[in-house]
Amino acid sequence: MKKILEYLLFPTVTINSKTLSKEVSTKTIVITGASYGIGEELSLLFSNYKVHLVLIARTKEKLEEVAKKVIQNGSKCTIITADLYQETEVEKTIQSLKELPNGIDIFISNAGKSITRSLEKSLYRYHDFTRTNALNYLAPVQLLLAITPVLEKNKGKIINVSAINVLLLPAPKWAAYQASKTAFDQWFRTNLLEWKHMGIKGKTIYLPLVRTKMILPNENYTNYPAMLPQQAAIRIANLICSTKNHTSSWWSIFPRTGSFFGRYLWENVDFIHPKNNS
Ligand SMILES: NC(=O)c1ccc[n+]([C@@H]2O[C@H](COP(=O)([O-])OP(=O)(O)OC[C@H]3O[C@@H](n4cnc5c(N)ncnc54)[C@H](OP(=O)(O)O)[C@@H]3O)[C@@H](O)[C@H]2O)c1
**What tens digit of pLDDT does each residue of 113-153 get?**
999 999 999 999 999 999 999 999 999 999 999 999 999 99
Separation of CA 33 and ligand 1 centre (Å): 5
Q: Which of 59, 88, 110, 178 gets mutated to test ligand 1 (max ligand atoms within 8 A of its CB)?
A: 110
Going by their DSSP bridges, the two strands 28-32 and 106-109 should be labelled as parallel
**CB count in 10 Å sphere of residue 269:** 11
Predicted pLDDT of residue 135: 98
Q: Could you give the residue ranges of the DSSP H alpha helices within 36-174? A: 37-46, 60-72, 87-98, 119-122, 126-132, 139-154
pLDDT tens digits for range 202-222: 999 999 999 999 998 888 888
Separation CA 272–CA 276 (nearest Å): 9
What is the pLDDT of the chain when averaged over all its residues? Answer: 96
Predicted pLDDT of residue 278: 57
Percent of the chain with pLDDT over 90: 91
Separation of CA 37 and ligand 1 centre (Å): 7
Q: Is the CB of 78 under 6 A from ligand 1?
A: no
What does the domain layout of the chain look like in residue ranges?
2-277
Contact between 81 and 104 under an 8 Å Cβ cutoff? The reply is no
Nearest CA to ligand 1 atom 19: 37
Residue in 229, 173, 278 with CA at minimum distance from that of residue 33: 229
Predicted pLDDT of residue 270: 81
Region label for 104, one of left (φ > 0), alpha (ψ between -120 and 50) or beta (otherwise): beta
pLDDT tens digits for range 223-265: 899 999 999 999 999 999 999 999 999 999 999 999 999 999 9
- Per-residue pLDDT at 182 exceeds 90: yes
Predicted pLDDT of residue 235: 98
CATH of range 2-277; options 1.10.10.410, 3.40.50.720, 1.10.10.10, 3.40.1080.10: 3.40.50.720
Partnered with residue 160 across adjacent β-strands are 109, 204
Nearest CA to ligand 1 atom 8: 163
Q: Is the CB of 138 under 6 A from ligand 1?
A: no
- What mean pLDDT do residues 191-196 have? 98
The beta-strand segments (E) located in the chain are 28-32, 52-57, 76-81, 106-109, 157-163, 201-207, 246-248
Partnered with residue 247 across adjacent β-strands are 205
